[in-house]
Amino acid sequence: MHKPLALAFSGGLDTSYCVPRLRERGFAVHTVYVNTGGSSPEERAAIRTQAEAVGAASHHEVDARFGVFQGFVRFLIQGNVLRGEVYPLSVAAERTQQAIALVQVAREIGAAAVAHGSTGAGNDQIRFDVALRVLAPDLEILTPIRDENLTRDQAIAYLEARKLPVPLKASAYSVNAGLWGTTWGGGWTHDSWAGPPAELLDPPPNTPPPVELVLGWEQGVPVSLDGESLAGPELIARLSARAATYGIGHNIHVGETALGIKGRIGFEAGAALILIAAHRELEKLVLTKWQVFWKDQLGRFYGDRLHEGHYFDPALRDIEALFTSSQQRVSGETRVRLAPGRFLVTGTRSPFSMMDRSVATYGEEHRLWTGEEARAFARIGAIPELLAERAARKSQPGS
């Protein structure tokens, strides 16, 4: 009798290869597609068809969009997390949630093992393995693509030899579409000098005229778009669609991988970039400079650990607690202007604004202190630099 196995299944080449390969090794392969956003009903139906065509014993679809938002995306927004100051961790926001869902299905079917289609040269293998080891240490983890060091051409040849369907565009680069953005890997991304394809360079044709939209916020979480209250996943989906019509959110990121090598991806993440920028501007209005400073340090660390697959480190729960505490007054509205290929946060307002004209107007009037008090403040403020300069002069030859 074949042993039940739960396979994280995307419908792409690597996971399509894994189904018949694992069947040859004596497993009944139950495919698990975890919907983290970014796929249409037609695409999900095609993924199911592909799973069945390559021999899945059963196919499971899990809607994890709210889990991705609540467990990951909201903290990435509150922490203003951009890896390398550029990339909003579109994939890292999803992989641990996919592993959580995979284990849930594995338990339901009484699986003896779990599997994923990651290669041995990327971050996803670490993200899946760490999560699966923490959540299901009793289950065997199988990774045919990694273990066999398989190339894409070899995987295609394997499927064709068995008259199994090869996914469309299997020989091109890999694309990962999710709630927090879409990434491109492979092909041109392997050459740091190579430029991206046209769809990542230019705004789409017939771009609409510039427009302004208003985002509503409650305690650091986006809750409305142009006055309409929306749940997090729906708000992001709508904002992504609007950003896409202007070609907003296209960029390229080069950075450290979990393995220590350099990696390069192209991405489109209009909603993520707009929300993080708008949130940061609202924070500037309502938080103190030291709140912002320490959040920036911890946000960078939080993003690094999540990116490298260590979501379950208790330090991340501690940082999430600080994020949550810091967001108590991050409520209000942000106004954002969309134009071809770019956006601009044009306004913020909050009942907790610290921009108080009754105290002072920057560069013009002061009401809470006198000119003489300002003079004394500047005089005392100069003392550390004054002492350092005097000490430096004493150390110079001939002084």
Closest-CA residue to 258 (of 90, 128, 103, 116): 128
pTM of the model: 0.92
220-249 in b/e burial notation, b at 16+ Cβ within 10 A? Answer: bbbbebeeeebebbbbbbbbbebbbbbbbb
Please report the pLDDT score of residue 170 as a whole number. Answer: 55
Describe the crossing of helices 232-245 and 270-286 by its angle, rounded to 10 degrees.
Answer: 110
The answer to whether the beta carbons of residues 117 and 167 sit under 8 Å apart is no
Which parts of the chain register pLDDT below 70?
1, 169-173, 360, 363, 399
Query: Long-range CB contacts (< 8 A, 24+ apart) of 296-299?
Result: 296/80, 298/79, 298/322, 298/323, 299/79, 299/80, 299/81
9-34 in b/e burial notation, b at 16+ Cβ within 10 A? Answer: bbbbbbbbbbbbbbbeeebbbbbbbb
Alpha carbons within 13 angstroms on the beta-carbon side of residue 84 total 15
Three-state DSSP state, 307: helix
d(Cα 93, Cα 88) in Å, to the nearest integer? 9
